[in-house]
């Protein structure tokens, strides 16, 4: 009897091996190579499609759109290739094109020309926030319009709320304004309210304001874990909400946005928002915080969103321009990473590109 030659060296049975030795060998090989070969289900497109665990669908995508007040022409954003500031006139066409491509949801960000210390234009029923929601709903009534409820685009200092005597955001004074802003958005036709200012109690305050004004049916998408991230840079160019131009005001948002080092704190934030009445939770940014997404997914049954923020998107675009990677493939790989981590929906500037790729791939 010769040793079996089709097994690894450490699994070969020497000549004269006992029946017990053969049983042990069988046990060793019953759940591993060569009997188990993971490549068997990777041999063709059909097999790979059959066993794929996660999928990106057009319905999962939320398309962010910037709208500049009093602008004559759409304006490209140099730090965010492929994205532009729409005008109020061009917004309608852009929303219709997004709907035709298969996008089911958009989120709107205004670039105000009527900024003041409190961002009051955003809770004016005739202000930019209300107008761009109305334009979008008129253009595509079936599309879900998400209103970003915050003040950074509408304040002259660029912070996300009312400034106190210490140059920082006054949490509780800001809550009242957020409630007014949310009601104005709902009255204009918003389908979802998404508060991004990271004020303590903002979900509860907005939920109450909506409920008492007859909008108890409008859901709240909470920016539950929004980190003080460097990846927002291109967004601030696009939305015109950079800090640092007022001496008496803080130069960062670290007192209200989360420390990137803290994962357990993100779970607390998400749990608080859920308890306050949030209908959807969000993590922002996305790829650098996949662990946070996965952790929140394990602790909450609410729908979960991730925001692939401007810096993440810009890195792919600039890397593709330099020939370092294929943009289409990088985009879809990043989106499936969000789904694998547990998200149900993804906010991405690549929504139209993803819809095109999904259509091309059948």
Q: DSSP assignment of 224-236, as one string?
A: EEEB--GGGHHHH
Task: Summarize the confidence of residues 225-238 as an average pLDDT.
Answer: 92
Q: Do 281 and 201 fall into the same domain?
A: yes
Which residue segment(s) compose the domain that 259 sits in?
58-360
Distance CA 92, CA 60 (A): 22
Q: Do 265 and 121 fall into the same domain?
A: yes
Distance CA 157, CA 243 (A): 7
**Residue 25 counted as domain residue:** yes
pTM: 0.89
Among 6-15, 175-184, 275-284, the range scoring the smallest mean pLDDT is: 6-15
- The enclosing H or E element of 305 equals strand 304-308
Active site (catalytic) residues: 226, 284
- The enclosing H or E element of 175 equals helix 171-188
362 against 247, higher pLDDT? 362
Q: Do 115 and 76 fall into the same domain?
A: yes
Task: Summarize the confidence of residues 285-301 as an average pLDDT.
Answer: 98
Q: Where residue 346 falls among pLDDT bands split at 50, 70, 90?
A: very high
**Percent above pLDDT 90 for the chain:** 77
Give pLDDT tens digits for 164-186. Answer: 888 899 999 999 999 999 999 99
**Residue 39 counted as domain residue:** no
Distance CA 178, CA 173 (A): 9
Instruction: Give every CB contact of residue 246 below 8 A, 6+ residues apart in sequence.
Output: 156, 157
**Residue 49 counted as domain residue:** no
User: Which parts of 159-221 fold into alpha helices (H)?
Assistant: 171-188, 202-212
**Residue 53 counted as domain residue:** no
Q: Quick one: tokens of 169?
A: 């955001």
Q: How many domains does the chain have?
A: 2
Q: Where residue 15 falls among pLDDT bands split at 50, 70, 90?
A: low
Q: Where residue 327 falls among pLDDT bands split at 50, 70, 90?
A: very high
Q: Which CATH number does the domain housing residue 71 bear? A: 3.20.20.70
Q: Do 66 and 27 fall into the same domain?
A: no
Q: Pick from 267, 275, 179: which is nearest to 218 by CA?
A: 179
**Residue 314 counted as domain residue:** yes
Instruction: Report whether pLDDT(117) > 60.
Output: yes
Q: Do 86 and 192 fall into the same domain?
A: yes
Q: Quick one: tokens of 120?
A: 């009051």
């Amino acid at each position: 009897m010769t040793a079996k030659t089709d097994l690894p060296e450490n699994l070969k049975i020497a000549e004269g091996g006992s029946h017990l030795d053969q049983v042990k060998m069988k046990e060793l090989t019953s759940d591993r190579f060569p009997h188990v070969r993971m490549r068997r289900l990777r041999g063709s497109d059909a097999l790979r499609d059959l066993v794929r665990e996660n999928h990106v669908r057009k319905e999962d995508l939320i398309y962010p759109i910037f709208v500049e007040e009093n602008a004559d022409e759409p304006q490209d954003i140099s730090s965010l290739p492929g994205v532009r500031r729409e005008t109020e006139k061009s917004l309608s066409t852009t929303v219709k094109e997004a709907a035709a491509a298969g996008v089911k949801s958009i989120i709107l960000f205004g670039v105000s020309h009527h900024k003041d210390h409190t961002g009051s234009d955003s809770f004016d029923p005739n202000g930019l926030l209300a107008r761009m929601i109305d334009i979008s709903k008129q253009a595509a009534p079936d599309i879900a319009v998400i209103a970003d409820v915050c003040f950074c685009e509408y304040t002259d200092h660029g912070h996300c709320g009312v400034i106190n005597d210490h140059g920082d955001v006054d949490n509780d004074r800001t809550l009242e304004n957020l409630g007014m802003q949310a009601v104005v958005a709902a009255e204009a036709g918003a389908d979802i309210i998404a508060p991004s200012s990271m004020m303590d109690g903002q979900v509860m305050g907005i939920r109450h304001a909506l409920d008492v004004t007859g909008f108890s049916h409008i859901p709240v998408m909470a920016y539950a874990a929004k980190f003080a991230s460097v990846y927002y840079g291109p967004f601030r160019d696009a939305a015109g909400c950079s800090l640092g131009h007022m001496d008496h005001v803080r130069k960062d948002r670290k007192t209200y946005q989360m420390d990137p080092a803290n994962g357990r704190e993100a779970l607390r934030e998400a749990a608080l928002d859920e308890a306050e009445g949030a209908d959807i939770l969000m993590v922002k940014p996305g790829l650098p915080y996949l662990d946070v997404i996965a952790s929140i997914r394990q602790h909450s049954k609410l729908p979960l969103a991730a925001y692939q923020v401007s810096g993440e998107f810009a890195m792919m675009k600039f890397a593709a321009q330099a020939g370092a990677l294929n943009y289409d493939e990088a985009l879809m790989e990043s989106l499936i990473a969000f789904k694998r981590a547990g998200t149900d929906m993804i906010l991405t500037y690549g929504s139209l590109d993803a819809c095109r790729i999904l259509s091309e791939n059948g």
